[in-house]
Amino acid sequence: MGSYSYTYEFNTIDRQQTVLLGKRLGVLLRPGDVVCLEGDLGTGKTVIAEGVGEALEIGDYMTSPTYTIVNEYPRAQGDLYHFDLYRLSGEDEVYDMDFDSYFNRGAIILVEWPDRAGSLIPKDAIKVYLAKVADSTEHRKITIYSNRPLEI
Ligand SMILES: Nc1ncnc2c1ncn2[C@@H]1O[C@H](COP(=O)(O)OP(=O)(O)OP(=O)(O)O)[C@@H](O)[C@H]1O
Ligand SMILES: [Mg+2]
């Protein structure tokens, strides 16, 4: 997992609370930030991404990049790129889609299933880990790991 200087833990009890947490995270993001969204299928990675999108004023236009692999949202203040690497087999396929060409463009980058990208994920990426609590349908524990303080 690497080591992180700051850890923040949250519990949400419905979808909307996770959207709000994403919004609170989103306002703290800066151009160049990479945010890895980790957790099993259906834990809420796309939901928290939606909240980040709200903070960045993308709002209702955000959809899951399940089939597109990446959705690109151009913004005057710096683009937002939202990846879902689930369907890629591993680092070689991620490399072949020019993953690294999205970095260093001053964009904010969200990545679902970052494990597929292996070492192509920048070392200073923020990590958001989502887990169902006791198999509850709506309760999620969400842990954010960062190397800079995030006053969420
Ligand atoms: N507390 C919660 N936070 C987020 N989503 C929740 C919560 N409670 C229930 N849900 C539901 O869980 C589902 C999460 O779906 P979502 O598409 O965000 O998962 P995902 O982690 O992106 O999955 P995938 O790996 O398939 O991309 C949604 O149907 C959402 O309504
Ligand atoms: Mg998703």
User: Does any domain span residue 47?
Assistant: yes
Domain extent at residue 84: 14-131
Q: What per-residue confidence (pLDDT) applies to 1?
A: 52
Question: Is the CB–ligand 1 distance for residue 58 below 6 Å?
Answer: no
Structurally, the chain folds into a number of domains equal to 1
Question: Is the CB–ligand 1 distance for residue 18 below 6 Å?
Answer: yes
User: Does any domain span residue 142?
Assistant: no
Answer whether residue 49 shows pLDDT above 60: yes
User: Does any domain span residue 107?
Assistant: yes
Is pTM, for the whole model, over 0.75? Answer: yes
DSSP string, 77-141: T--EEEEE-TTS-SHHHHHHTTGGGGTTSS-EEEEESGGGGGGGS-TT-EEEEEEESTT-SS-EE
Q: How far is the CA of 44 from the centre of ligand 2 (A)?
A: 7
Q: How far is the CA of 56 from the centre of ligand 1 (A)?
A: 20
User: Does any domain span residue 114?
Assistant: yes
- CATH number of domain containing 20: 3.40.50.300
Q: Is 104 left (phi over 0), alpha (psi -120 to 50) or beta?
A: left
> In percent, how much of the chain has pLDDT > 90?
93
